[in-house]
Structure 1
């Protein structure tokens, strides 16, 4: 069936990012398979992460179907778009329906995008990963694609105002090599291995990031362990 909505939405997003003069550092996009199912797993630090994660699949000419909380699908603006782009609503109280939906899509050769932290990390460090992505990949017999984003929190994230000014912000998008979990391996073990790989990619993206804070008031987007003023993981958990 023809994709009537998704490609135009991507075009609008690219035009918007060009207007903002974002500076992209995209690494590892060749790791996204050109055909067949896969589970794309990324950290989550900003409200626009699903767009940036999807951009990583465009060099392979693939579209990513994201699993997102059900409330997004109920919004009068985002809801019709999310449904038209065939994303998958997740009712956190009854997640089995979304799981079956995603499993069927994977077996049909789709790429499913998952943020296994479930919510935005306000400390901008990795939270614990839920095991759903690993279980999907194992049951569908498809690879896991670890990925890390960096810099997206500076545009729009939880607890901070949007900054859509023409600030030439750098955005890091790093995709790792596919991981092929053994069907017999415990999902918790697969999940931990994926988390470790995402952490490695995140650290590479942070080291490569060219921007430095202009002063204490501009260091809010940096984790505390990197000298920033973002909440520590313990403080973020309390929030």
Structure 2
């Protein structure tokens, strides 16, 4: 915070003011977690965005990104016990070790690579690229399992964009029943490749859907990236929620500057 005067001015701190240290910031996050206020804090800023005229427009884009945590050096037996919801006996005997073990994070594979951590499931509007809703799960949860909870009736457009991982007959039925228009990518199957028309339709959808990758890219390039160093899903939800909130704040600054230019 001392690196730039703009940081201290933004926080309302004077030159001689004491700067909150890492412990103070950690305690702030702990209080947010215990009070269960992260969702309310995010929603409150969402109301601020709408009050300034940044209403969700252009359709909604749904996607998920992996949020890594430091890898656990567990034995296969220990991992099996954690997945089963039990604590390995050796960890119980060593409380200090047990406190350092993340028993909520899970492994997953993407593009042939293994990742350990959580997932940030996001709904962003296509017009402003602002995050409107989000959810946090362990990394093993399939993207489509968080889909229903992310849908936002507040968007002025009924169109919903997502990649083919979200597509199923059940999802298409639910979207139609709730008044949404599916713009989810179609995928080919063995002996049933996509037609030329379907391929072209996917290309058109990609021009909109790809904008959500800008959201994740901005988070990755922000100080600290997406890595979460807390332990447990309760703290991970706070850290990821704050990352999403911080993204929206930075995005608002960009939108305001563009409007003033």
The structure, 1 or 2, with the larger RCO (C-alpha pairs under 8 Å, 6+ apart) is 1
Same fold (TM over 0.5): no
- Structure 1 length normalisation: TM-score? 0.28
Q: Which has the larger radius of gyration?
A: 2
- Structure 2 length normalisation: TM-score? 0.27
